[in-house]
Chains A and B, each alone.
Chain A
Amino acid sequence: MEVNSKKEKLKSFLINETLILTLLSIVMGLLVGALIITLSGYNPLEAYRLMLEGIFSQPRYIAWTVIRATPLILTGLSVAFAFRTGLFNIGAEGQFIIGALTAALLGYFLELPAILHVPIVLCGSILAAATWGGIVGFLKSKFGIHEVIASIMLNWIALYFMNYIINQPGFKRPGTEASFDIHESARISIPWMREVLGPATKVNWGIVIALVITAVIYYLLFKTTIGYELRAVGYNKDAAEYGGINVNRSIMLSMAIAGALAGAAGAMHVMGVSFRVSVLAAMEGYGFNGIAVALIGNNNPFGVILSAFLFGGLTYGGSKMQTIGVPTEVINIVIGSIIFFVATYRIFRYVLVLFNRKKLQKEVQ
């Protein structure tokens, strides 16, 4: 009994500590950003004020932050889910592309009433991306190919495959480097909110769908047998196998779910924001940013939501700093620093220990 309560105490202590350390990392990241802004001759307070105003001062700005955060919730969740099951999904980028491409194809070539069209496009895209993610799981469990290397290859294959499909006559809008727009019936915009916030603001139902999906994933991961098995494999593969869990099946399932999540992000981006897919010369970064979101969110579904909003806010609001001449890229430095401090949380402990030691010394004196 005592052991149990001790364990629980330890658990709640750790969770709180994680939260505190993450917040500390965010503060430190912003400080590094401030330092760089100062060194390059600007006023950091002014810059950060502009950033905060750029997020909160108008309903339309808040809407844009939410729109920015929506795909990151899902790609972040995709990476976090895979991490929880012992896999590093660096392939969210490619899965996002496959989801977006499928959504653009189904949204343009199918003609259905909205009530059918939206779910069919969403499910089709999720299925395609789940297959794409599943390939990585298959290659790992069947051939022992490291998921990182397979994912990197599949990211590029996905990118060139999408470019190839976009270039097919009948799908490519002549005179552009993009596909035709999807039909109205496949879009998830919220027209009345667009009237309120201005026509350029692409408010859509994506955020609601993303939050529902996050809740489902939380339930799946922490409240079901399948989730337990997946996490067991992530925690200790050999022990899980010894305990009768089919490790190969778990790896494939886990990568398929991770793919589905990133694919949903891509689909909703097309259905709610871009309405088309464009030829890409380089990766757009939704998947890679998802890795950052997952790490800052401590691979926890709810942490991922918060961290996606932080990320969305920083990148959207951060672009406003340009008005006084601060290059937007300082935001990447801030985000990188936050991740760096999340990784080296021991720095804080080290400082704390030093601090305590000094305090003790003072008390002794």
Chain B
Amino acid sequence: MRDLAFILATTLMYSTPLIYGALGAVFSENSGVVNIGIEGMMTIGAFAGAASTYIMAEGYGHLWWVPWVGFLIGGLAGGLFGLLHAVASVTFQADQTVSGIAINFLAPGLALFLSRRLFENATTTPPIPLDAKLPRPLNQFFDLSSIPGIIFNQYASVYIAFILVFVSWFVLYKTKLGLRIRAVGEHPKAADTLGVNVYRVRYFSVILSGILAGLGGASLSMAIVASFRPTLISGQGFIAMAAMIFGKWKPHGAMLACLLFGATTGIQIYLGSPQVGLQVSANLLSMIPYIITLIVLMGFVGKAVAPAADGIPYEKGDR
């Protein structure tokens, strides 16, 4: 039972950055803009969050708001690259994949460049002091060695991720804004005819996508670990994108896919932990989530269908 709780806790922790990234992809792609730049946006978010929190903790001491402002700065840094992606893919009707690839070079490049400039040529940011990391809001309510204590001893970023899943679902399917986003992604011309500003909705969605991805990166560099390093994200943005497709472009679907990835990481850590000490190669275990995903996609999910106008630039008056 305690073991199960441990697995559950690590699952929640490791799926969190993916959930932010996948939600970002959900918004962008539902509005009709493919965002392969999630990886880069997560990287710059991870750097901006960790670096700004460290600097603020140095300058202002360990005040309660320091990690929160750092977290937001991480999101904004991602949002900035979201804006760049929007300028390219909405205003200049660029090939969205190409623009996304550009961001995957630009954002990590800038993150490492700034890290070297700010921290004496180091590509790893100095560690954030423990009490300047994101807080663990619920751990005072539980005995930490009890089962609920093990499960709920999570960083705030974990709870926010799940709240955001619900909010995203609500916004996309229960509000006028969500209807507009989806309309613009399915049939931009029809939406345009009905008076929806296609460009504005797409700008909004892509920038939001960047902000969410940036928060995802920061949730990694400010909670799971306490600093940014070049290999921190290494592919998680792509996994988030895969999770979004796996979850059929829906927030809750994407969340479940992220939990699957998180769970396999959790099980892997559990099996490798000293109290179990199972002699299974870590490399073989690491392959499992990816193999499971392929098998699941082969058998159970069926054909996933992207929003009809996903990836197609919209030009007003274009026939």
Please determine whether chains A and B interact with each other in the same assembly.
Answer: yes
Measured CB to CB, the residues of A under 8 A from B are 36, 40, 88, 90, 139, 143-146, 148-150, 152-157, 160-161, 163-164, 167, 281-283, 288, 291-292, 295, 327, 329-333, 335-337, 339-340, 342-347, 350
Say yes or no for B95: interface residue by CB 8 A criterion. Answer: yes
Q: With contacts A152-B241, A288-B104, A342-B98 known, what are 11 further pairs, Cβ within 8 A?
A: A145-B298, A149-B242, A149-B297, A150-B297, A152-B235, A152-B238, A152-B239, A331-B109, A333-B105, A336-B105, A347-B92
Tell me whether B102 and A337 are in contact (CB under 8 A): yes
Q: Would you call B235 and A282 a contact (CB within 8 A)? A: yes
A206 to B195, CA, bound (A): 58
- The interface residues of chain A lying within 8 Å CB-to-CB of B99 are 340, 343-344
Are B290 and A156 interface neighbours, CB within 8 A? Answer: yes
Is B92's CB under 8 angstroms from A327's CB?
Answer: no
Complex formed: what's the CA distance from A284 to B103 in Å? 18
Kindly list chain A residues whose C-beta atoms are within 8 Å of the C-beta of B241: 148-149, 152
CB distance from B276 to the nearest CB of A (A): 20
The answer to whether B287 and A160 touch across the interface, beta carbons within 8 angstroms, is yes
CB pair B239–A145 under 8 Å, yes or no, is no
B40 to chain A, nearest CB (A): 8
Contact A340 B281 (CB under 8 A): no
The answer on a CB contact under 8 Å between A163 and B239 is no
A337 to B218: give the CA distance in the assembly, Å. 24
B234 within 8 A of A: yes
Is there an interface contact between B297 and A336, defined as CB atoms closer than 8 Å?
Answer: no
B residues apposed to A, CB below 8 Å: 36, 84, 87-89, 92-95, 97-99, 101-110, 112-113, 116-117, 121, 231, 234-235, 238-239, 241-242, 245-246, 281, 283-284, 286-287, 290-291, 293-294, 297-298, 303-304
- Please state if B106 and A160 are interface contacts (CB–CB under 8 Å): no
- The list of the 7 closest CB pairs from A to B, nearest first, reads A332-B109, A336-B105, A336-B106, A343-B94, A340-B102, A339-B102, A343-B98
Whether the Cβ atoms of B290 and A154 lie closer than 8 Å is yes
Q: Specify which chain B residues have a CB less than 8 angstroms from the CB of A143 in the assembled complex.
A: 297-298
A36 cross-chain contacts in B, Cβ below 8 A:
113
Chain A positions within 8 Å of B242 at CB level: 148-149, 152-153
B50 to chain A minimum Cβ distance, whole angstroms, is 17
Q: Which residue of B lies closest to A163 (CB)?
A: B283
- Taking a contact as CB atoms under 8 Å apart, the answer to whether A340 and B283 are in contact is no
Are B112 and A329 neighbours in the complex by a CB distance under 8 Å? yes
Give 27 CB contacts A-B under 8 Å: A139-B297, A145-B294, A148-B36, A148-B241, A149-B241, A153-B242, A157-B291, A160-B283, A160-B286, A164-B283, A282-B231, A292-B101, A329-B108, A330-B109, A331-B109, A332-B105, A333-B113, A336-B109, A339-B98, A340-B84, A340-B88, A340-B99, A342-B98, A343-B92, A343-B99, A345-B94, A346-B94
Whether A332 pairs with B112 at a CB distance below 8 angstroms is yes
Contacts of A329 in B (CB 8 A): 108-110, 112-113, 116
Q: How far is the CA of A288 from the CA of B92 in the complex (A)?
A: 24
Q: Which of B89, B283, B304 has the most CB of A within 10 A?
A: B283
Among B94, B103, B113, B239, the residue within 8 A (CB) of A330 is B113
Among candidates B88, B101, B231, B235, residue contacting A344 with C-beta atoms closer than 8 Å: B88
For B98, what are the chain A residues with a Cβ–Cβ distance below 8 Å?
295, 339, 342-343
Q: Would A333 and B294 count as touching, CB distance under 8 A? A: no
Knowing A156-B235, A332-B106 are in contact, say whether A339-B101 is a contact too (CB < 8 A): yes
**Complex Cα distance A295/B106, Å?**
15
Chain A residues, Cβ within 8 Å of B239: 152
B residues near A343, Cβ cutoff 8 Å:
88-89, 92, 94-95, 98-99, 102
Q: Does A145 contact B297, Cβ atoms closer than 8 Å?
A: yes
Q: Which residues of B contact A336 (CB under 8 A)?
A: 102-107, 109
* Shortest Cβ distance from A32 into B: residue: B106
Residues of the B chain whose Cβ atoms lie less than 8 Å from the Cβ of A146: 245, 304
- Which chain A residues border B245 with CB–CB below 8 Å? 146, 148-149
Q: What CA separation (Å) do A291 and B98 show in the bound complex?
A: 9
Please determine whether A291 and B106 come into contact, CB atoms closer than 8 angstroms. no
**Chain A minimum-CB-distance residue to B98:** A343
Of chain B, the residue at the smallest CB distance from A342 is: B98
Task: Please report the C-alpha to C-alpha distance between residue A167 and residue B279 in the assembled complex, in whole angstroms.
Answer: 14
Chain B positions within 8 Å of A90 at CB level: 238
Measured in the bound complex, the distance between the Cα atoms of B99 and A186 in whole Å is 40
Also in contact, A335 and B105, with CB within 8 A (given A40-B117, A139-B298, A329-B113): yes
* Whole-angstrom CA separation of A83 from B242 in the bound complex: 20
Q: Is the CB of A150 within 8 A of B113?
A: no
Complex Cα spacing A307 to B53, Å: 39
Taken together as a complex, chains A and B put the C-alpha atoms of A28 and B53 apart, in Å, by 34
Please determine whether A281 and B231 come into contact, CB atoms closer than 8 angstroms: yes
A147 CB, nearest partner CB in chain B, Å: 11
> Is there an interface contact between B121 and A327, defined as CB atoms closer than 8 Å?
yes
Q: How far is the CA of A143 from the CA of B193 in the complex (A)?
A: 37
Write out the residue numbers on chain A whose beta carbons fall within 8 Å of the beta carbon of B107.
Answer: 336
- Closest B residue to A153 by CB, please name it: B290
Q: Are A292 and B303 in contact (CB under 8 A)?
A: no
Q: Which residues of A sit under 8 angstroms from B286, Cβ to Cβ? A: 156, 160
Q: Out of B95, B121, B283, name the residue touching A161 (CB < 8 Å).
A: B283
Does the CB pair A292–B105 fall under 8 Å? yes
Known: A139-B294, A145-B298, A149-B245. A295 touches B110 (CB 8 A): no
Which one of A145, A148, A288, A333 lies within 8 Å of B109 (CB-CB)?
A333
The one of B89, B112, B303 in contact with A327, judged by C-beta atoms closer than 8 angstroms, is B112
For the complex, what is the distance from the CA of A288 to the CA of B303, rounded to whole Å? 27
Complex partner residue of B97 from A88, A156, A283, A330, CB under 8 angstroms:
A88
Chain B residues with CB under 8 Å of A347's CB are 92
Residues in B whose Cβ lies below 8 Å from that of A157 = 287, 290-291
**B92 neighbours in A (Cβ, 8 Å):** 343-344, 346-347, 350
Cβ–Cβ < 8 Å partners of A155 in chain B: 235
Chain A residues, CB < 8 A from B110: 329, 333
Q: When chains A and B are docked, how far (Å) is the Cα of A150 from the Cα of B286?
A: 16
Q: A143-B297, A342-B98, A344-B94 are in contact. Are A283 and B235 (CB under 8 A)?
A: yes
Q: A164-B281, A343-B88 are contacts. A149–B235 as well, Cβ < 8 Å?
A: no
